[in-house]
Amino acid sequence: PTTTPSMTLFPYTTLFRSVLLMLLGVAIVYLAVKLIYRYNWNKGLSAKLDFDKKHVVKDDVVNLTEVVTNEKKLPLPCVNLKFQAARELRFPDTDTNSSVSDKTYRNDVFSFLANQRITRKVPVRCTKRGVFRISGLEITFAGLFMNEINVLKSENECEITVYPKAADARELKPVNSRISGEAQRKKYMLEDPFVFRGIRDYTSNDSLKNVNWKASARTGNLMVNEYDESVSRNVCILLNLEESGALRYDAVDEEAISIASGIAEMLVSQGINVSIISNGCDVDTHNHVFVQGGAGMGHLNNINTALARIDTGIAMEEYSAMLEKILEPDNMRIESEYVYVLISASRRKKLQSVINKISRLQADMVWIVPHFPEDDYGLELCDFEPVGWEVK
C-alpha cells in the first residue's frame, strides 16, 4: 500500500502538539507558582533584632540575636535580612556578611521550611563609648526563580549603651592619693555607733568588734555591722569637654570621660559619695549631664550611663559660665564638705580664674589636665599645681 504525505506528517504533528501542550503546562505552572510566591511570600514573615545585654563596657563583645520567623506553609528557599548599624559596632573579621564604610551594612541569608523560626547569635565588638541603635530592617526575597526583587520593611527598636572604659587603676594611684587625702580631712576618723546602716560580709579591713555573731551563725559566713559615718565624704567631679583650642580632639574627650569613669569607680569602692557636673550634653535630651551625689554599684551604673550618653558633637556651654552660675547666690553654692575634681584639657584664662576663685572659697580642689605628650599643662592663674594625664 502507498502512503500519503498527510499520513507521513501525522506522527510529527502529534509530537509537536504534545510538546506545545507540555510547554504550555510548564508556563502555566511557572506563572501560577510565581504569582503564589509574589503575593504570599511576606505573609507570616517577621524579623527581630536584640542585644543580649543592654549595657556593656567599651571593647566588650556582645551577641546580637537575629530571630526570623516564617509562619506559613509556604517554604522560602532564600531570604535576605538587611540592616545598618554604626561602624563602631564591629562584626568578626572572618564574617563575609558585613561591609563597612560610613556605617556597617549587614546582609544575612536564611532558608525556611514551612512554619519555621531561625535564631542566630552574631558576636559584635563595641569599639566606642555611646548609645547605639538599630531602628529598621529589610527582608528581601528574589522570588522562587531568583528573577524578582521583593522587599518587606520592618520596624525594629534595638539599643545598647556602651559604658566608657574606666581609666587604668594603676595610673589613678597618684590621683587617688591626692583626692583621698583631701577627702579624709572631711570626715571624722570614727563611725557613729548610734547610726546603724545594715549588715554586710566581713572583709580583712573590718574590726572583729563589729562582727554580728548572730547573723554570722545564721548565714554561715562572717557578717559585720555597718554604721554611717558622722560626716560623709563627698567628691564632685567637674567634667569639662570644651575644646582646648581651635580644634576638637576626640581622643582627648574620650580620655577625659574615661578618667571620670575611673575616678567614680575608685571612689565608690571606697564608700565615697560621688556627683558629676559636666557641660557635655545628653544624646537625646541635649541637656547638660548632671548626676546627683550617691554611692554604691547602682549609682556607679547611673554615672556610667550618663557618661555613655554624652554626645561631644552637640554644642556645649562654656564651662566657666556654668561654674559662675553655681557661684550665684540664688543657685547651688560651692559646698564646704565637698572635694572638687576638675577634669579639663582646656586651660582658658577665664576658666582658670573661676576655678581659682572656687579654690579660695573651697581649698580642696584637684585639676586633672589630659594632654598629648610634650604639651604644656601648667596653670598660670591658679594657686595650685595640676595633675597631668598623658593621652596616648
H helices within 153-291, ranges in order?
Answer: 173-184, 213-219, 250-269
Band of residue 230 on the pLDDT scale cut at 50, 70, 90: very low
pLDDT of residue 228: 53
What average pLDDT does range 94-118 have in this prediction?
87
**Nearest Cα residue to 218 out of 232, 204, 199:** 199
Band of residue 316 on the pLDDT scale cut at 50, 70, 90: very high
Torsion of CA 368, 369, 372, 375, to 10 degrees: -130
Task: Say yes or no to pLDDT of 332 above 60.
Answer: no
Strand 103-112 relative to strand 98-100: parallel, antiparallel, unpaired?
Answer: antiparallel
- The better pLDDT of the pair 165, 336 is held by 165
Predicted confidence (pLDDT) per residue in 143-153, tens digit:
888 888 899 99
What are 40's three cell numbers? Answer: 504570599
For residue 305, the 8-state DSSP code is H
pLDDT of residue 34: 87
Do residues 82 and 106 lie in contact, with contact meaning Cβ atoms separated by under 8 Å? yes
- Of 95-99, 122-126, 244-248, where does the model show the most confidence? 122-126
What average pLDDT does range 30-47 have in this prediction?
90
> In angstroms, what CA-CA distances link 258 with 143, 255, 277?
50, 5, 15
Task: Say yes or no to pLDDT of 209 above 70.
Answer: yes
Q: Which amino acid is located at 61 in the chain?
A: V
Predicted model pTM = 0.79
- Name the least confident of 14-28, 50-64, 320-334, 350-364: 320-334
Question: Sign (positive/negative) of CA torsion 24, 30, 32, 35?
Answer: negative
* φ, ψ (nearest 5 deg) of residue 51: -90, 145
What average pLDDT does range 354-360 have in this prediction?
86
Cα–Cα dist 240/237, whole Å:
10
Strand 61-70 relative to strand 98-100: parallel, antiparallel, unpaired?
Answer: unpaired
Strand 338-344 relative to strand 234-240: parallel, antiparallel, unpaired?
Answer: parallel
- Name the least confident of 31-35, 126-130, 161-165, 174-178: 174-178
Burial class (CB in 10 A: 0-12, 13-18, 19+), 107: middle
Cα–Cα dist 254/312, whole Å:
9
SS3 letters across 83-139: EEEECCEECCCCCCCEEECCEEEEEEEEEECCCEEEEEEEEEEECCCEEEEEEEEEE
